[in-house]
Each structure stands twice: as structure tokens, then as C-alpha cells.
């Protein structure tokens, strides 16, 4: 392989330093304009119970409906089972993964297919509310949705880490919201 | 950033300058030097610098003297820039990461900070991204081939100096390596390759003398690079491996040395590979065969013919589908004919009902006859179509098999590539132990599944290590026993019906079973009576059991069991088996028998709590039913009691209320038998094994998952975990750490956990020097994460840390430690009896008080690992 070919494989020079959303502001996908460092966020907003959560579009590969869910005894508490997704097995992540045992995820629920570092996970999404660009409140820094409801912005790498290490996810999200 | 890419530019610029100044030099040479300089500048990835270099090159072409002046100035400025850079530039620019400052001034000097900044940033950015991993894999593959070729050329010249063509090829290869390494963010490797290139260049131009020892040094260094690259997952790790090699290279042939002098090149810095011995065995290098094939990374190289076969299958599938579609439409038209007949019948009946008149028999008869006639014509057509559909289905099945075979073939890899990974490792081991060893391989063309092959690397290296360390005697000892000074290790592969057999044999000292018997009695594992009764065969196979290596003896057999239990575990997990045979004085042979592929397996399926679970059928002995309520054991066919793992309880499902007798599956894994209970046994099926993904990879209970014909995920239980549940191991004992042994450091991965960066770095340094691969973590949580990511042979941890402390970490990891047999050393300033006791109870092998000294740490690690 020639040097030029090697260099063409390199990440673009303006890629952000840490793990970047897969579809984040890379040149190939000009349609997604995710402004890193600015206040505007392109997200999918979904609610579980009375809480609204948001995930930046760059992390989301697909929105899909869960097929038959298989429970996994002894899995980390945030894992609500596994599901067959086009022939590969996906873990289903639930942000309510608190100390008590989760409600089993079931067929027909909505889920977001998230990808971090090539690792794909289905995130249980409850009701999907909207796809929008959200602006952070300039005073508090909190993210508000179109109905001015505060939204908890989830950070998928953080979610993945927490899930694998059996840390409580919901508390994480709330904490980052309160900052 | 002493070894940064800029250094390469500077050296290259100096070379170019030298070439230009030489009156006698030819134009082609100058051009090449300038090309290289430009290439080096491109590596840095700074446009400013590239522009500068380009303009200098243009100047040289137009007005040579002017160009030379510009180049001189360039060298000077860059040289001045590079020296103070370490203290200022990096610090300065590390802070303002989000903005990339572009210098406006066109001078060379100003652009340097940008370059430094960018290199630093690139290092950071490339650490976690999948893209970089892909790049690294590609690079490893390419680098391995390049290095293999380099060694092949070097070794091919047993007599004298390589000819010009060969030297040019060497230059080209190292040059390519340099470029690629720089691009994938391994500046240290790039700079090492650069030094290598310079050394070859010196030989080419006659500045350095060629000699056998120079050649051997180069081969060794190429091997060292090979190993560094294989283990490098980022610039830091690569850096650790190459520093010593760099020093070494710079010295090659520089002093116009003759043979004797150049074989005494000083090595003040001990590289992790411990390449300190320069009087090495040349015959080994000479006999080494060039070997260019194979794959050394998760990338898969496939013969295009195999892909073509798959494409043909896809073509077949299209035909199959269209045939079936045709059948479907035929059947649909038959169906419409039946429907017409039905309609006629219905309207006839409706007519009769409407008229209210009684129906005559002859009317009824003719109506029925008409329907019968119509059905009679439809029936044969339907039968024919059904028959054809059956044929089509069997054709489809054939295509499916062909597709499966084709895909399996794509995953097949020749064993040669596996073998090629062993050679550098073996050379390093031989050097460490001062033994003369020759590796002979046979059956390299044998093919088997890449996933199996990949998992065999560690077991094979373990077996080689055993052979080198414990099997092959020292040269003098061998000669005294009438053997050649050089030991021989043979690795062979062959197909035997449906399995691949891989053998590792040595012509060393062999294993004396009487010594083993004594050891087992000493250990309390066997009674004297048991030892007397055990056959030689049975005694020998015991060396695969965990803990076979002795506690403190330092004789030949000490450590015989190191890692052998892991070897057996890996092989058994793959569905294979490993056996040992040995003749005292003549040698030892390990035989591994492995399945061709692990992607498809025969599994026993059973149901619990409404869910289907699977377990590899290889390990299933039998099935039966036992009376309720469950006891702690279940009898096998011969009436012997086996420990019972109650799966309902383990998996958290209630026992069905209507169950009269409980079905059990009897298993055997690693020589241990057990029974598991379930609701219903479904039976044996062929299943496709799939990965459960990283989130669940840490749960030892599962070996993977599979997808049922209806699309549901079914979990596959890992027999190893069940055995561990049925046979809980004895607690690990603290061991006597003070002992001297000739055993070389086992070059394996160690996780160092400490909140102080200085201590982390210090320990890292100590361990690297001793040949270990080191990963560090700053607290319990990140250590736990590291443990999830990859395996470690040992973990060295502090106790007091902010966030999650050492005890919390050990508590959390206790199951992991048991499962993986990872050794744990606790290092703390709180050296109290209570802490020691607690650490021991949590699985720690040893407890060292801070501050820890290098020798103590290494000794403790070795002692802990010997007691695997």
C-alpha cells in the first residue's frame, strides 16, 4: 500500500480528540452537522416514565423494534436481555439499571441501535418523542426540548462503561444533568 | 518527543546534505535522498514543512549551490528547534487542544510548534478509535510480511554481503515500513525503521563493514521490531519495546568494525526482550527459512477463488429462488382453479335452495361429476408441483451446504501463519535462557479455522516456552549426554479425519514420572498409595492440572505446570484435547487435537424456565432423570455420585410445579464430571455459535449465543464455569517469595494499579525492563475496566486509592481472578497483619510493603506465576 493510500485512511484532521460519534462531523456525512463545542445538539429525544432523555444523532445507527428478547441471568444490571438483530446478538441496555432487578424488555418495544468503538448495543427507548436540534439553557446549561422540558443528555461511551462496570446508569445521567 | 517524526526529517535532511556535498556522488543518489526527505516531511503531516522542503528541492534542481545553502539553513533551524522542543513546545501547546494554530510566518522555525502539537494530538486521538485499530491491524500485517522478507534476505546470504539488488530491496522494505509506521501513529517504530534503513545504507555505501555478527544483529533487531509491533496497540507500548533496539541499531557497523569488534556492541540499556547476548547461535539464523505467507492479525486474507465459489453459490441461490417462485405461482393458479370449482358448487347449491324444489339424484350426480372432473384435472398438476417443490427444496439445501462450506473455507487459514508467529518468540526465549534451539516445522499447509488458529497462539507459545525452559538442556549438559549442543523443537500439523492435530515435541530431558509422583505426594495431592498405584500415563497427564508446579524447588521440573492448565483450558474450550507423552532423557511431546472449525458446533439443547439453553455436545456424557427434591449430587449410569449444579437456582428460574422427575445432563470437562438439572432435554442440534458482544463477554457462565430457527437468541453455557461451580477450587495460598531461579521472566501482560502516577510509572519501568508487558490503571474502577478488555497474567495493585480502593477491586474481581487464574500482588504502605490476611482471603498471592524494589517485585511475580 502506498504512503498516499495510508494517509487517506487516517481520520480527518479535524476529528475531535476523544471517541467521536460515528457520524459526527466527518466529511463523508455532510448532512449531520453536530456542532462540537457549541450549545446546539442534534438529538433523538425519548421518554421513559416521566423523564426525557436525549442521545446525539451521531451515536445512533438505527431506530428499531425489538424482536423476541432473551433474558440473560447474571448479566450486569443494566442489561435487560439480548435480542437477535439481523443475525447478530445485541445486548439491550436499560438506563434504569438500578440495584433492583429490571423489568424484562419485551418484543415490540422501541430501541436505538447505538455504536461506540464498533461495539453495538440496543438502548431501550420507551416512547420516542422527537428528532430535533436542542439548545442548552444559557443560564443553567441544562438541555431543554421543544416543550421546554429538561432533557437528560446521555453520553453513550459513559453509558457503555457504566453498563459494563455495573455502575448505576440513571444516577450518572441525573448527576450530569445537575452539573 | 526526541524520537518524533521530526527527528527523521532532520536525519534525512542531513543525509541529503551529505549526498549533495559529495562531489563524487551521482545524481540518482541525490535525487533519491531528496525524495526520501520529501517523504519524511510528508509523514509529519505539516503542509508548511512540506512546502518548505519542496521549495528547497526545486531550488536544488535549478541552482544547486543556492539549494544546498537553503538545505543547510533548514537543517540548522530544524536542529535548533528540536533540541529545546521537549521542554517548551509540547507543554505550551498541550493546553490549547481545541484550536489548531496555523502559523502565518513562512519560516521553518515557526512551523515547528504546529508540528509538535499535531503529532501529540494525533497520538491522543488515535488511541481509542476503531479506525486506528483497523489501521494498526493492516499495518501489523504489512509490517510482518516486510520484516519476514527482510530477515529472509539477510539470512539468505550465509556467505557474504547481500548484493546490490538485495540491499536495495532491504532499503525499500525498511523505507516502506518507516512510512507506514509513521502513518499509523507509531513514531517510535518509524524512527527505528529509519535507523534500520540508515544502517543498511551505511552497509551499502561501504561506510560500515558487513559481517555475520552485523547480520545477526539485524535479524535480531528485525525480530524485536516484529514482537514490538505485534504487541503495540498504541505509541506508548511500541515505544517501550523499541528504545533498546534503537540504541543498538545506531551502533551497527558504525565504527567500521571487524567481526570481533562488532560482536561486542555494548548494550547499556536492556530492552524488554532481553536481547543482551550477542554471541548467539548463528546456525539457527542460517537455517531459518523465509516464510512470507499467512496472517498475523484479525484481518483475513482470502484466496479469490474461494470468494468466486461463494459468488457461484449466490448465483445458485438466485436460480433456486426463481424456481421456487415459479412453483408458487403455479400453485397459486391451481388454487384459483379449486376456488372456481368451489364457486360453481356454491352457486349450484344456492340455485337449488332458492328454487325450493327437491333436488333430483341425477341433477346432484351430474353437478358432483362436474366438480369431480375439474378436481381430477387439478390433482395431478398439484401433485406434480409438490414433487417439484420438494426437488427445489433439496436443491436449495445443497446450495445452502455449499454456501456454508464456502464460508468455512473462507475462514480457513493455513497453519503456516500460526507457525511464523512462533519463530521470533522462540528466538527471544532461546536468547534469554542461553540455550541453543532450532525450530523445525512441518505441515504448514494444513488448514483450519482462523478463529481456532488465533486462539492457539498463546497455548503454542506456552508449550514452546515449556520446551525451551524445561525440556531442552543447556548446551554443555546436552553434549555431556551425547546429544548435539543444539536442541530441536518440532511443531507439526496434520489433518486426521475431522480434526487437526498439532504436536510440539522436543528432544530434551523429558519428564520423569517418579519425580512427579514424589511431588504429588509432597503436595498432599496424592497419598503414597495413590502414587504407587497410578500408571505412568495417568501421572504424566496430571501435569495439566492447575498447581502442578512445585512450591519452592528449583530443579528441572519446577514450573513444569506453569501455564499448562491454561493450555488445556483453551484447547478444551475449543472442543479439543491435549495429551502429553514423554521419555526420560529423550524428550517430551504434546499433542493437541482440535476441531476444524468452531463456528458450527454440535450442541445439546435443553429448556429451563421456558427458555432454551445450549451446551457443547462434546462435553456431554449422558442424560438421565433423577428424583425430586434435588440433592447435591446425581448418580451417573454406573451409580457414582457426581456433583449437581442446579441450573434453576443458578439461572434464577422457578422449578416447574408439575415436574415429577428432574432431567439431568451429565458432563465431563477437563477430566471432571458433573450433572446439571433442567426442565426438559430437547436433544442434540447443529448450532452456529455467535459472540454475545462486549457487554456480556465478562460473564464466565456463557460461551456465546446462537439463534434459533425462529430467530430467538439462545444462550450457550460454558462448561468451564459449571465445572468451577461444581468443584470450587482451594483458596490460594501466600507463597514464599524469596527464591532464586534461573527461570526467565515470562513475558506476559501485567496490570499495575496505583493512584500515584510516579509509582505507576516506576513499576511500569521495572516490569518493562524485566520483559513484561505493562498496562496501568489509576484506580479500582479503571482497573476493572482493563480486566474486562483483555486478559492479564498478573495484577499488581495498591490498596489505598481514591474512588474504588484495592480491597473493593479485589472483592469485585474475586470471581474473575478465580476464573482466569490471574495472579495478584498487593503493594501497600499499610503493611499490617490484618491487611495481609484480608488480601490473602481475596485471592492475593503476595503482599509487598511500599516502597517496592525492582528485584523484590520481579521475584514475587515469578514466584506467584510459578505457582499457577
Nearest of A128, A168, A167, A157 to residue A17 by alpha carbon: A157
Predicted confidence (pLDDT) at residue B631 exceeds the cutoff of 60: yes
Query: What is the rounded distance in angstroms from the CA atom of residue B704 to the CA atom of residue B715?
Result: 6
* B676, B664 contact by CB (below 8 A): yes
Residues of chain B contacting A15 with CB distance shorter than 8 Å? 125, 129
Q: How far is B813 from chain A (nearest CA, A)?
A: 11
Q: How far is B391 from chain A (nearest CA, A)?
A: 28
Contacts of residue B165, defined as CB under 8 A and 6 or more positions apart, other chains included, come to: none
Q: What pLDDT sits at residue B4?
A: 57
Q: What pLDDT sits at residue B735?
A: 30
- pLDDT tens by residue, A10-37: 333 333 333 444 444 333 333 333 334 4
pLDDT category of residue B94 using cuts at 50, 70 and 90? very low
Q: Which of A28, A78, A82 best tests the B interface by mutation, with the highest count of B CBs <10 A?
A: A82
- Give domain status of residue A16, yes or no: no
Q: For chain A, what is the domain count?
A: 1
Cβ <8 Å between A3 and B39: yes
Q: How far is A98 from chain B (nearest CA, A)?
A: 16
Query: Is B669 in the same domain as B541?
Result: no
Phi, psi of B220 (to 5 degrees): -60, -45
Query: Is B492 in the same domain as B557?
Result: yes
Of residues A11, A70, A76, nearest to B129 (C-beta): A11
- Give domain status of residue A10, yes or no: no
Its domain, for residue B483, covers 434-561
Q: Which residue did the predictor score with more confidence, B833 or B29?
A: B833
A-B contacts at Cβ under 8 angstroms: 131
Cβ <8 Å between B702 and A121: no
Q: How far is A148 from chain B (nearest CA, A)?
A: 31
Q: What pLDDT sits at residue B731?
A: 37
Indicate the residue among B353, B381, B413 that finishes a domain.
B413
Does B629 sit behind a cis peptide bond, omega within 30 degrees of 0 on the bond before it? yes
- Give domain status of residue B475, yes or no: yes
Q: Which of B114, B184, B694 best tests the A interface by mutation, with the highest count of A CBs <10 A?
A: B694
Q: How far is A75 from chain B (nearest CA, A)?
A: 7
Cell 511500569 belongs to: B764
Query: Is B722 in the same domain as B767?
Result: no
The count of residues in chain A is: 179
Q: What pLDDT sits at residue B789?
A: 76
Of residues B100, B184, B691, nearest to A89 (C-beta): B691
Q: Which residue of B has its CA nearest to A93?
A: B695
Q: Which of B184, B299, B713 best tests the A interface by mutation, with the highest count of A CBs <10 A?
A: B713
Q: Which residue of A has its CA nearest to B698?
A: A164
pLDDT category of residue B589 using cuts at 50, 70 and 90? very high
Residues of chain B contacting A163 with CB distance shorter than 8 Å? 695
Query: Is B133 in the same domain as B278?
Result: yes
Residues of chain B contacting A82 with CB distance shorter than 8 Å? 692-693, 696, 705, 713, 715
- pLDDT tens by residue, B449-501: 877 887 888 888 888 888 888 888 888 888 888 888 888 999 999 887 667 89
Cβ <8 Å between A164 and B129: no
Q: Average the pLDDT over B71-98 and give the result.
A: 57
- B60, B64, B66, B72 alpha-carbon torsion, rounded to 10°: 70
Query: Is B715 in the same domain as B767?
Result: no
Q: Which residue of B has its CA nearest to A78?
A: B695
pLDDT digit string (tens) for chain A, length 179 residues: 343 443 333 333 333 333 444 444 333 333 333 334 446 778 899 888 778 888 989 899 989 998 899 999 888 888 889 999 887 899 998 877 643 445 666 777 889 999 887 788 999 888 888 888 887 766 666 777 777 788 888 888 888 887 877 665 544 444 334 33
Q: What pLDDT sits at residue B538?
A: 82
pLDDT category of residue B289 using cuts at 50, 70 and 90? very low
ipTM of the modeled complex: 0.74
Q: Sign of the C-alpha dihedral, residues B805, B807, B808, B814?
A: positive
Cell 503456516 belongs to: B416
Rounded (10°) angle between helices B5-21 and B108-125: 140
The CATH number of the domain holding residue B516 is 3.30.565.10
Indicate the residue among B79, B105, B125 that finishes a domain.
B125
Cβ burial of B118 (10 Å; 0-12, 13-18, 19+) is: middle
Of residues A6, A83, A160, nearest to B180 (C-beta): A6
What SS3 state is found at B762? helix
- Give domain status of residue B742, yes or no: no
Cβ <8 Å between B693 and A89: yes
Query: Is B763 in the same domain as B810?
Result: yes
* B754, B803 contact by CB (below 8 A): no
Q: For chain B, what is the domain count?
A: 6
Query: Is B25 in the same domain as B83?
Result: yes
Its domain, for residue A98, covers 32-178
Q: How far is B257 from chain A (nearest CA, A)?
A: 35
Give chain A's largest Cα–Cα span: 56
- Give domain status of residue B295, yes or no: no
Q: Which residue of A has its CA nearest to B39?
A: A3
Query: Is B61 in the same domain as B100?
Result: yes
Q: Which residue did the predictor score with more confidence, B182 or B4?
A: B182
- Give domain status of residue A38, yes or no: yes
Contacts of residue A172, defined as CB under 8 A and 6 or more positions apart, other chains included, come to: A158, A159, A162
Query: Is B523 in the same domain as B550?
Result: yes
Predicted confidence (pLDDT) at residue B202 exceeds the cutoff of 60: yes
Query: Is B826 in the same domain as B859?
Result: yes
Cβ <8 Å between A89 and B713: yes
Q: Which residue did the predictor score with more confidence, B237 or B481?
A: B481
Predicted confidence (pLDDT) at residue B545 exceeds the cutoff of 50: yes
Q: How far is A17 from chain B (nearest CA, A)?
A: 5
* B717, B700 contact by CB (below 8 A): no
Query: What is the rounded distance in angstroms from the CA atom of residue A125 to the CA atom of residue B226?
Result: 47
pLDDT category of residue B698 using cuts at 50, 70 and 90? confident
Q: How far is A165 from chain B (nearest CA, A)?
A: 7
Query: Is B29 in the same domain as B116?
Result: yes
* B259, B119 contact by CB (below 8 A): no
Indicate the residue among B125, B153, B188 that finishes a domain.
B125
- pLDDT tens by residue, B854-867: 778 888 888 877 76
Q: How far is B130 from chain A (nearest CA, A)?
A: 5
Percent of all residues in chain B with a pLDDT value above 70, rounded to a whole number? 78
Residues of chain A contacting B128 with CB distance shorter than 8 Å? 18-19, 117
Predicted confidence (pLDDT) at residue B66 exceeds the cutoff of 60: yes
Q: Which residue did the predictor score with more confidence, B373 or B819?
A: B373
- What are the contacts of B800-803 at 24+ separation with CB within 8 A? B800/B755, B800/B828, B800/B829, B800/B830, B801/B753, B801/B754, B801/B755, B802/B755, B803/B779
Cβ <8 Å between B712 and A79: no
**Whole-number average pLDDT of chain B:** 75
Q: What pLDDT sits at residue B251?
A: 66
The CATH number of the domain holding residue A124 is 2.40.50.180
- Give domain status of residue A101, yes or no: yes
Q: Which residue of B has its CA nearest to A160?
A: B695
Cβ <8 Å between B693 and A91: yes
Cβ <8 Å between B97 and A1: no
Cβ <8 Å between B696 and A79: yes
pLDDT category of residue B332 using cuts at 50, 70 and 90? very high
Q: What pLDDT sits at residue B45?
A: 65
Residues of chain A contacting B788 with CB distance shorter than 8 Å? 164-165
Nearest of B836, B795, B801, B799 to residue B813 by alpha carbon: B795
Residues of chain A contacting B132 with CB distance shorter than 8 Å? 11
Cβ <8 Å between B692 and A89: yes
Q: What pLDDT sits at residue B715?
A: 94
Distances (CA, A) of B105 to B23, B117, B801: 35, 17, 48
- Give domain status of residue A17, yes or no: no
Q: What pLDDT sits at residue A1?
A: 39
Residues of chain B contacting A113 with CB distance shorter than 8 Å? none
Query: Is B359 in the same domain as B397?
Result: yes
- Give domain status of residue B580, yes or no: no
- Give domain status of residue B419, yes or no: no
pLDDT category of residue B183 using cuts at 50, 70 and 90? low
Predicted confidence (pLDDT) at residue B585 exceeds the cutoff of 80: yes
pLDDT category of residue B699 using cuts at 50, 70 and 90? confident
Q: How far is A86 from chain B (nearest CA, A)?
A: 9
Cβ <8 Å between B183 and A10: yes
Q: Which residue did the predictor score with more confidence, B555 or B146?
A: B146
- Give domain status of residue A1, yes or no: no
Strand partners, B253: none
Q: Which residue did the predictor score with more confidence, B32 or B542?
A: B542
Q: Which residue of B has its CA nearest to A163?
A: B695
Predicted confidence (pLDDT) at residue B241 exceeds the cutoff of 80: no
Q: Which residue of B has its CA nearest to A165?
A: B785
- Give domain status of residue A108, yes or no: yes
Q: How far is A122 from chain B (nearest CA, A)?
A: 11
The CATH number of the domain holding residue B347 is 1.10.287
Q: Average the pLDDT over B83-105 and give the result.
A: 39
Q: Average the pLDDT over B525-550 and give the result.
A: 76
Of residues B98, B611, B784, nearest to A70 (C-beta): B611
Nearest of B462, B646, B663, B632 to residue B561 by alpha carbon: B462
Of residues A11, A17, A67, nearest to B131 (C-beta): A11
- pLDDT tens by residue, B411-433: 777 888 788 778 777 877 787 77
Q: What pLDDT sits at residue B676?
A: 92
Q: Which residue did the predictor score with more confidence, A172 or B207?
A: B207
Amino acid at each position: 500500500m502506498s504512503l498516499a493510500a495510508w494517509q487517506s485512511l487516517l481520520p480527518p484532521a479535524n476529528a475531535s480528540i476523544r471517541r467521536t460519534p460515528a457520524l459526527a462531523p466527518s466529511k463523508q456525512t455532510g448532512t449531520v452537522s453536530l456542532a462540537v463545542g457549541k450549545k446546539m445538539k442534534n438529538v433523538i429525544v425519548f421518554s421513559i416514565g416521566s423523564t426525557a432523555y436525549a442521545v446525539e444523532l451521531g451515536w445512533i445507527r438505527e431506530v428499531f423494534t425489538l424482536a423476541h428478547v432473551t433474558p440473560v441471568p447474571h448479566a450486569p444490571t443494566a442489561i435487560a436481555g439480548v435480542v437477535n438483530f439481523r443475525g447478530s446478538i445485541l445486548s439491550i441496555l436499560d438506563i434504569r439499571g438500578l440495584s433492583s432487578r429490571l423489568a424484562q424488555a419485551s418484543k415490540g418495544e422501541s430501541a436505538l441501535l447505538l455504536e461506540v468503538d464498533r461495539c453495538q448495543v440496543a438502548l431501550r427507548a420507551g416512547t420516542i418523542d422527537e428528532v430535533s436540534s436542542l439548545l442548552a439553557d444559557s443560564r443553567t446549561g441544562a438541555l431543554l426540548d421543544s416543550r421546554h422540558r429538561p432533557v437528560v443528555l446521555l453520553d453513550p461511551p459513559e453509558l457503555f462503561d457504566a453498563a459494563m462496570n455495573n455502575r448505576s446508569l440513571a444516577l450518572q445521567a441525573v448527576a450530569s444533568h445537575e452539573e | 518527543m526526541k524520537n518524533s517524526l521530526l527527528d527523521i526529517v532532520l536525519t534525512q535532511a542531513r543525509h541529503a546534505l551529505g549526498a549533495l556535498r559529495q562531489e563524487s556522488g551521482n545524481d540518482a543518489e541525490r535525487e533519491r535522498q531528496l525524495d526520501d526527505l520529501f517523504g519524511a516531511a510528508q509523514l509529519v503531516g505539516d503542509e508548511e514543512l512540506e512546502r518548505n522542503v519542496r521549495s528547497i528541492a526545486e531550488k536544488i534542481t535549478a541552482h544547486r549551490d543556492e539549494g544546498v545553502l537553503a538545505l543547510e539553513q533548514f537543517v540548522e533551524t530544524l536542529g535548533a528547534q528540536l533540541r529545546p522542543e521537549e521542554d517548551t513546545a509540547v507543554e505550551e501547546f498541550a493546553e490549547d487542544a481545541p484550536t489548531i494554530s496555523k502559523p502565518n510566518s513562512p519560516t521553518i522555525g515557526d512551523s515547528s510548534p504546529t508540528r509538535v502539537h499535531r503529532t501529540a494530538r494525533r497520538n491522543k486521538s488515535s488511541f481509542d478509535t476503531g479506525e486506528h485499530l483497523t489501521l494498526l491491524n493492516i499495518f501489523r500485517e504489512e509490517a510482518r510480511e516486510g520484516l519476514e522478507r527482510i530477515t529472509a534476505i539477510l539470512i539468505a546470504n550465509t556467505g557474504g554481503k547481500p548484493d546490490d539488488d538485495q540491499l536495495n530491496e532491504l532499503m525499500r522494505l525498511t523505507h516502506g515500513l518507516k512510512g507506514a509506521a509513521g502513518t499509523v501513529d507509531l513514531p517510535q517504530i518509524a524512527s527505528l525503521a529509519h535507523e534500520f534503513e540508515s544502517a543498511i545504507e551505511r552497509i551499502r555505501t561501504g561506510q560500515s563493514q558487513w559481517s555475520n555478527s552485523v547480520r545477526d544483529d539485524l535479524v535480531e533487531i528485525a525480530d524485536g521490531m516484529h514482537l514490538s509491533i505485534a504487541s503495540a496497540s498504541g505509541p506508548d507500548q511500541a515505544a517501550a519495546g523499541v528504545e533498546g533496539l534503537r540504541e543498538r541499531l545506531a551502533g551497527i557497523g558504525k565504527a567500521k568494525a571487524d567481526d570481533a569488534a562488532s560482536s561486542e556492541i555494548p548494550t547499556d540499556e536492556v530492552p524488554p526482550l532481553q536481547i543482551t547476548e550477542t554471541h548467539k547461535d548463528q546456525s539457527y539464523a542460517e537455517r531459518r527459512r523465509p516464510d512470507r505467507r499467512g496472517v498475523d492479525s484479525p484481518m483475513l486474507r482470502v484466496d479469490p477463488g474461494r470468494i468466486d465459489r461463494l459468488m457461484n453459490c449466490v448465483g445458485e441461490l438466485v436460480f433456486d429462488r426463481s424456481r421456487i417462485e415459479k412453483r408458487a405461482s403455479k400453485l397459486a393458479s391451481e388454487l384459483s382453479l379449486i376456488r372456481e370449482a368451489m364457486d360453481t358448487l356454491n352457486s349450484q347449491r344456492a340455485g337449488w335452495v332458492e328454487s325450493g324444489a327437491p333436488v333430483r339424484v341425477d341433477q346432484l350426480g351430474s353437478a358432483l361429476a362436474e366438480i369431480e372432473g375439474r378436481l381430477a384435472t387439478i390433482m395431478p398438476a398439484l401433485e406434480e408441483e409438490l414433487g417439484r417443490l420438494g426437488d427445489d427444496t433439496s436443491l436449495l439445501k445443497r446450495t445452502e451446504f455449499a454456501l456454508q462450506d464456502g464460508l468455512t473455507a473462507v475462514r480457513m487459514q493455513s497453519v503456516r501463519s500460526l507457525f511464523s508467529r512462533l519463530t521470533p518468540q522462540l528466538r527471544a526465549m532461546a536468547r534469554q535462557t542461553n540455550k541453543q534451539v532450532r525450530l523445525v516445522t512441518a505441515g504448514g499447509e494444513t488448514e483450519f479455522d482462523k478463529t481456532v488458529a488465533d486462539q492457539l497462539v498463546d497455548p503454542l507459545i506456552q508449550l514452546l516456552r515449556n520446551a525451551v525452559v524445561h525440556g531442552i538442556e543447556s548446551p554443555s549438559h546436552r553434549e555431556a549426554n551425547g546429544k548435539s549442543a543444539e536442541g530441536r523443537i518440532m511443531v507439526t500439523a496434520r489433518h486426521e479425519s475431522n480434526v487437526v492435530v498439532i504436536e510440539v515435541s522436543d528432544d530434551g530431558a523429558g519428564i520423569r514420572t517418579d519425580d512427579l509422583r514424589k511431588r504429588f505426594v509432597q503436595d498432599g495431592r496424592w497419598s503414597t498409595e495413590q502414587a504407587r498405584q497410578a500408571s505412568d500415563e495417568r501421572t504424566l497427564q496430571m501435569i495439566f492440572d492447575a498447581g502442578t508446579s512445585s512450591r519452592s524447588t528449583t530443579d528441572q521440573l519446577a514450573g513444569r505446570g506453569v501455564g499448562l492448565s491454561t493450555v488445556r483450558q483453551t484447547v478444551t474450550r475449543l472442543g479439543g484435547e491435549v495429551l502429553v507423552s514423554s521419555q526420560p532423557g529423550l524428550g517430551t511431546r504434546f499433542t493437541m487435537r482440535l476441531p476444524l472449525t468452531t463456528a458450527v458446533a454440535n450442541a445439546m439443547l435443553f429448556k429451563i424456565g421456558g427458555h432454551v439453553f445450549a451446551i457443547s455436545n462434546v462435553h456431554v456424557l449422558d442424560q438421565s432423570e433423577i428424583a425430586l427434591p434435588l440433592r447435591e449430587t446425581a448418580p451417573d449410569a454406573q451409580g457414582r455420585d457426581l456433583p449437581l449444579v442446579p441450573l434453576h437456582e443458578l439461572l434464577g428460574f422457578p422449578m416447574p410445579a408439575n415436574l415429577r422427575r428432574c432431567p439431568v445432563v451429565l458432563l465431563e470437562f477437563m477430566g471432571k464430571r458433573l450433572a446439571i438439572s433442567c426442565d426438559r432435554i430437547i436433544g442434540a442440534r447443529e448450532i452456529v455459535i455467535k459472540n454475545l458482544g462486549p457487554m456480556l463477554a465478562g460473564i464466565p457462565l456463557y460461551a456465546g449465543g446462537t439463534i434459533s430457527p425462529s430467530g430467538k437468541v439462545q444462550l450457550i453455557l460454558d462448561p468451564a464455569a459449571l465445572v468451577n461451580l461444581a468443584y470450587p477450587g482451594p483458596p490460594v495460598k501466600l507463597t514464599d517469595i524469596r527464591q532464586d531461579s534461573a527461570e526467565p521472566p515470562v513475558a506476559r501482560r501485567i496490570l499495575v494499579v496505583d493512584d500515584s502516577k510516579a509509582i505507576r510509572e516506576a513499576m511500569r519501568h521495572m516490569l518493562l525492563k524485566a520483559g513484561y508487558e505493562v498496562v496501568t490503571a489509576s484506580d479500582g474502577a479503571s482497573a476493572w475496566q482493563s480486566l474486562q478488555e483483555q486478559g492479564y497474567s498478573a495484577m499488581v495493585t495498591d490498596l489505598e486509592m481514591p474512588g474504588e480502593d484495592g480491597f473493593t477491586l479485589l472483592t469485585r474481581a474475586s470471581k474473575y481472578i478465580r476464573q482466569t487464574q490471574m495472579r495478584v500482588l498487593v503493594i501497600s504502605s499499610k503493611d499490617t497483619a490484618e491487611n495481609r490476611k484480608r488480601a490473602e482471603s481475596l485471592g492475593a498471592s503476595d503482599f509487598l510493603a511500599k516502597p517496592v524494589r525492582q528485584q523484590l517485585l520481579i521475584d514475587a511475580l515469578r514466584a506467584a506465576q510459578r505457582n499457577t
